[in-house]
Structure 1
Amino acid sequence: MTEQIDASEYISLFEAYKEQLESLEKQAAYVQAIIEDYTKAKVTMEKLSKTKKDSDVLVPIGGGVFLYAKYDSNAKVLLSEGADVVIERDIDYAIDALQKRIDDLNNGLTKLNEMAIQLQQKMQDISLTIQQLFSKKEK
């Protein structure tokens, strides 16, 4: 009877870890999507900063849609500072700000991945324990 209770507790714990792991994987995918979005914006601004004044450019606005525009070398960008606050900044500042955000997100992604690895290890340990409990029961 005790082994049955232990097994059901381990199975419940395994399921809880599985749900946590799925949640971490979703969070990691979301963070990765944000990193890709910031990286695209950064690359676009880097290319713009090397463009000659009054050059014709195509500006990506998302969804595979582009705008025709003339580039002004003194152009400013509107950079979101959070909480619905947008501030006009020069391109170099915006590039640096996005790189800092990308770095911060990559650090967070690394931590999420480390947590996922720890959960996977715990799940493997629990799985082994459950197998041992059932093999004892069969003997």
Structure 2
Amino acid sequence: MVEVSEEDIRNLAARHQEFQRQAEGLKQQMNMVQASITSCDQATVTINELKTVSAEGKTAETMVPVGFGSFVYAEIKNADKVIVDLGAGFSAEETADEAVETLKRRKEQLTKILEQMSASLTKYIQGMQALEVEAEKLQQPSQA
């Protein structure tokens, strides 16, 4: 019969905790990516709604933040031009249609990243489950 040392059990527990920490960190990152996807969706809907209002010859009224939780009312007179964040601190002016396409591409990229992260999370969970099974096997002979 193989003798199981406390050190073996501690090593398994440490590996399990490390998998758990990595999985938790990954979950937090996944939440941030999901928030970015939601933000892309919201921006797309808003741009499309503004395009519709503009096409009808109307102006849209909105509130613009001026800092410290304060807002002013403003009218959007030209909804066909949108400033889009390109990343790394750069922005560009695009037509509303171009902006929607840019946001669509960004959402697709973020969705792929989220899928990859989900696959990694699955591997961490499987790793934790394998360690749990191994720990159970190691403890069974000592209980006999």
TM-score scaled by length of structure 2: 0.84
User: Can you give the 5+ residue segments of structure 1 that lack an aligned partner in the other structure?
Assistant: none
How far 1:5 sits from its partner (Å)? 2.2
1:72 pairs with 2:74: no
Q: Deviations over 1:14-64 (max 9, x none)?
A: 00000000000000001011111111001111122222254132446689x
Pick one of 1, 10, 13 that aligns with 2:12: 10
Corresponding residue number in structure 1 for 2:118: 113
1:55–1:70 Cα contact (<8 Å) kept: no
For residues 62 and 94 of structure 2, the distance between their equivalents in structure 1, rounded to whole angstroms, comes to 18
CA RMSD of aligned residues (A): 2.2
Q: 1:67 to 1:40 in 2, by over 3 A?
A: farther
Aligned pair count reads: 137
Pick one of 43, 49, 52 that aligns with 1:50: 52
Pick one of 38, 41, 46 that aligns with 2:40: 38
**Deviation above 3 Å: which 4+ runs of structure 1?**
58-63, 65-68, 70-73
User: Can you give the 5+ residue segments of structure 2 that lack an aligned partner in the other structure?
Assistant: none
Task: Give the secondary structure class of the aligned counterpart of 2:92.
Answer: strand
Task: Give the secondary structure class of the aligned counterpart of 1:50.
Answer: helix
Task: Give the secondary structure class of the aligned counterpart of 1:41.
Answer: helix
Corresponding residue number in structure 2 for 1:102: 107
1:91 pairs with 2:93: no
Q: How much identity, in percent, do the aligned residues show?
A: 21
Amino acid at match of 1:56: T
1:56–1:68 Cα contact (<8 Å) kept: no
Q: Deviations over 1:76-135 (max 9, x none)?
A: 111112222221110000000000000100110011111111111110110111112112
For residues 134 and 72 of structure 2, the distance between their equivalents in structure 1, rounded to whole angstroms, comes to 57
Greater shift in the superposed pair: 52-61 or 28-37? 52-61
TM-score scaled by length of structure 1: 0.86
